[in-house]
Amino acid sequence: MDTLTINLGDRSYPIIIGEGALCKLPEVLTSLQAKGTVGLVTDTNVGPLHGDKVVTQIREKGLNVKVCVLPAGEPYKRLAVIEGLCEDFLLAGLDRSSVILALGGGVVGDVAGFAAAVYMRGIRFIQIPTTIVAQVDSSVGGKTGVNLSEAKNIIGAFHQPSGVVIDLCLLTTLPDRELRAGLAEVIKHGVIADASLFEYMEDHVDALLKKDLAALTYPIRRSCEIKGAIVEADEREQGLRANLNYGHTFGHGIEAASGYERFLHGEAVALGMCAAAALANSLGLVDVAFVERQRRCLQRYGLPTHWPDMSVDAVWESMQHDKKAKAGKLKFVLPEGFGRVVHRSDVSESEVRRALETLLTV
């Protein structure tokens, strides 16, 4: 068991990481002086697997619990779901002394966090991420939100959790495809901030894909350290925090163009990383060896690195709605080497399209 702290003044919070970390949930609720009814938000995949265990721990603290089960999947990350959750919270008697628990992957965390941000103008919530992508990325940092059909995470708020409980044992029930998709975000962290982490991901493919919890501990903890340090330095994404968007400008366009149904988030990010590396190569920032080494690593985890039937026009159109664009210009995070990235907003449409076209050929 290990605890990291995200230092944000009076909004600081712990990240508890380890096998069996869920047993610490009652302590976290005590530290928050939770009262009355706790809202537990989960989905149809995770709820049947882990919901009862969490409900039992809540009730052992003498608290009531309102369980809200969402349909699983990115297509349900919509504003109508937020309205439904807030109505459930109100009818169950949740008030400003209450706490929301988000038990699930990135979609559950984003939706529950946004509901917590707007219900009664903001109440506390705890992230209990059950997927790799949620544990190493979306549960840390306070970004919450939902999608429009044209763009991902375009409606949302910064609302930091009051705690994050990362129980590695919850990963044992994670489907293999979800595991692989989540590891794309760990590889991303290696590319943007830590060449040693990238090398670890190259060297431990078999153990990580077998869900060896001992092997998973280091990359999950290191990813939380990387993201936590960036969030502490730039909570509202005025500069440094944009580094975390490596692969995401392309990836979010790919997700939207495919209707949020063809690719998991991490899979789209893997494709986006390949396109970003190709763009960096065309701009003279990295050599071909970098592009190929990153691609090989992603491929070894079974992640997509090509989309032969992709519509470049559709992805380009979706990218125009990227919330990080300023004055109509897209901002790209591009590698200069393993562990180093730069921001570029002087990239032409033709250069972006050529980068996307590299995904068409296997």
- Adjacent-strand bridge partners of 155: 146
Confidence at 151, pLDDT banded by 50, 70, 90: confident
79-83 average pLDDT score: 97
Report whether 77 contacts 147 (CB < 8 A): yes
Residue-wise burial string across 152-172, b where 16 or more C-beta atoms lie within 10 A, e elsewhere: bbbbbeebbbbbbbbbbebbe
Q: What is the mean pLDDT of the chain?
A: 95
Q: pLDDT tens, 207-220?
A: 999 999 999 999 99
Res 241: pLDDT: 92
CATH superfamily of 184-357: Dehydroquinate synthase-like - alpha domain (1.20.1090.10)
Res 149: pLDDT: 85
Amino acid symbol at 17:
I
pLDDT at 164 over 80: yes
Residue with tokens 């894909």: 209
Residues of the chain with CATH 3.40.50.1970: 2-173
Confidence at 328, pLDDT banded by 50, 70, 90: confident
Residue-wise burial string across 200-227, b where 16 or more C-beta atoms lie within 10 A, e elsewhere: bbeeeeeebbebeeebbeebbbbbbbbb
Q: pLDDT tens, 112-130?
A: 999 999 999 999 999 999 9
322-333 average pLDDT score: 80
The catalytic site residues sit at 121, 143, 185, 227, 237, 241, 245, 248, 252, 265
Instruction: Label residue 332 exposed, middle or buried (CB < 10 Å: 0-12, 13-18, 19+).
Output: buried
Give the Cβ contact number of residue 56 at 10 Å: 10
Res 329: pLDDT: 86
Residues of the chain with CATH 1.20.1090.10: 184-357
Q: Rounded to whole angstroms, how far apart are CA atoms 295 and 358?
A: 12
75-95 average pLDDT score: 96
Using DSSP's 3-state secondary structure scheme, residue 299 falls into: helix
Amino acid symbol at 97:
S
Give the Cβ contact number of residue 24 at 10 Å: 18
Alpha helix ranges (H) inside 283-346: 288-300, 312-319
Q: pLDDT tens, 253-273?
A: 999 999 888 999 999 999 999
128-149 average pLDDT score: 95
144-155 average pLDDT score: 90
Backbone torsions φ then ψ of 152, nearest 5 degrees: -90, 140
Q: Rounded to whole angstroms, how far apart are CA atoms 104 and 295?
A: 29
Q: Rounded to whole angstroms, how far apart are CA atoms 215 and 190?
A: 16
Q: What is the pTM of this model?
A: 0.93
Residue with tokens 């005025």: 238
94-112 average pLDDT score: 96
Report whether 71 contacts 43 (CB < 8 A): yes
Res 237: pLDDT: 86
Confidence at 238, pLDDT banded by 50, 70, 90: confident
Res 327: pLDDT: 65
Res 63: pLDDT: 95
CATH of 2-173, one of 1.10.274.100, 3.40.50.1970, 2.10.60.10, 3.20.20.60: 3.40.50.1970
Higher pLDDT pick, 166 / 60: 166
Report which of 333, 344, 278, 339 is spatially closest to residue 306, judged by C-alpha positions.
278
